[in-house]
């Protein structure tokens, strides 16, 4: 799918999700043939001509200015991550696609990120790559998020777990979240954001295609075109070994293009969840500083 189509689909979907009455547009009791705002209504709110907006939505108008894109974002009531996504899609639409796609080299954890992971020994932490592949995890991160998997799997690029696959295709991970739909929407929203930044990443497109074909839930959420920057979120988890606990998952982006993330799970001080997490740490394997997923996989 080229950039023009992605931009048009994003605009059409988000326009259909806005109700005229929510924006103070009188409906006079009329019945609409399609949900959401009409093109002329959105164009008026954004301060652009109907013909210009129509061409933009149909992929026939290139090089939309940042000011026009921001005006459309305000009219669509986009949040900051969604506004940036709109700019990324427009940029991709303007420059076109190479047609060849791009499959980056296998990702590796940098020395600095590895040092930070080691410093977080007392909290669950995992390092994920651009497409949510698990590049490394500390013992507690493995025990909390994927204790049913081989702890050495991140060390082998061809066998690395992928958090998006786990959330949608793995029964253990699905049961781990009491509010699974909230977690699933966050995963999809983040993949949308990454797809906008890296439109020629063939491995990312393959992942989206796989999940769309294997999970009706993913296909439905992907079609919704929601964009989410997964910075901070609180989840109630139901761990099979230690029971329920509430954690705050925080994502710390690393590198100039935010290609790697450290996801940590914290708990409130003196809370039952803190006690539960301490119990999980006691049940898990002891830390081995020579285990490849923690030290040997770093790149300088």
CATH number of 109-299: 3.30.450.180
Residue 28 has a pLDDT of: 54
The beta strand positions in 139-259, using DSSP E, are 232-239, 243-254
How far apart are the C-alpha atoms of 287 and 284, rounded to whole Å? 9
pTM of the model: 0.79
CB 73 within 8 A of CB 49: no
- Which two three-digit tokens encode residue 259? 């290609």
CATH architecture of residue range(s) 3-95: Orthogonal Bundle (1.10)
- Interacting residues of 244 by C-beta distance below 8 A, sequence separation 6+: 178, 236, 237, 238, 276
- Hey, where are the domains in the chain? 3-95, 109-299
Residue 220 has a pLDDT of: 95
CB 140 within 8 A of CB 122: yes
How far apart are the C-alpha atoms of 132 and 113, rounded to whole Å? 16
Parts of the chain with a pLDDT under 70: 1-3, 27-31, 62, 94-105, 255-258, 284-300
Residue 262 has a pLDDT of: 93
| Nearest alpha carbon to residue 4 among 94, 118, 108 | 94
């Amino acid at each position: 799918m080229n950039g023009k189509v992605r931009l048009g689909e994003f605009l059409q979907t988000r326009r259909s999700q806005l109700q005229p009455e929510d924006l103070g547009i009188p409906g006079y009791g009329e019945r609409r043939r399609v949900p959401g705002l009409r093109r002329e209504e959105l164009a008026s709110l954004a301060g652009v001509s109907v013909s210009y907006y129509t061409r933009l939505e149909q992929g026939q108008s290139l090089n939309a200015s940042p000011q026009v894109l921001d005006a459309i974002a305000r009219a669509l009531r986009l949040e900051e991550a969604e506004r940036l996504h709109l700019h990324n899609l427009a940029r991709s639409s303007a420059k076109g696609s190479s047609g060849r796609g791009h499959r980056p080299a296998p990702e590796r954890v940098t020395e600095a990120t590895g040092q930070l992971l080691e410093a977080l020994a007392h909290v669950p932490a995992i390092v994920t790559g651009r497409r949510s592949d698990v590049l490394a995890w500390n013992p507690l991160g493995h025990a909390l998020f994927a204790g049913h998997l081989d702890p050495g799997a991140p060390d082998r690029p061809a066998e690395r777990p992928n958090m998006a696959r786990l959330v949608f295709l793995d029964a253990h991970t699905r049961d781990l979240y009491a509010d699974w739909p909230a977690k699933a929407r966050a995963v999809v929203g983040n993949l949308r954001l990454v797809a906008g930044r890296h439109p020629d990443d063939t491995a990312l497109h393959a992942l989206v295609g796989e999940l769309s074909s294997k999970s009706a839930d993913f296909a439905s959420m992907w079609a919704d075109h929601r964009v989410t920057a997964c910075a901070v979120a609180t989840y109630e988890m139901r761990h099979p070994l230690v029971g329920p606990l509430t954690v705050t998952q925080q994502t710390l982006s690393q590198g100039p293009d935010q290609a790697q993330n450290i996801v940590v799970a914290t708990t409130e001080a003196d809370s039952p969840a803190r006690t539960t997490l301490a119990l999980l740490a006691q049940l898990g394997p002891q830390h081995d500083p020579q285990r490849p997923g923690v030290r040997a996989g770093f790149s300088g």
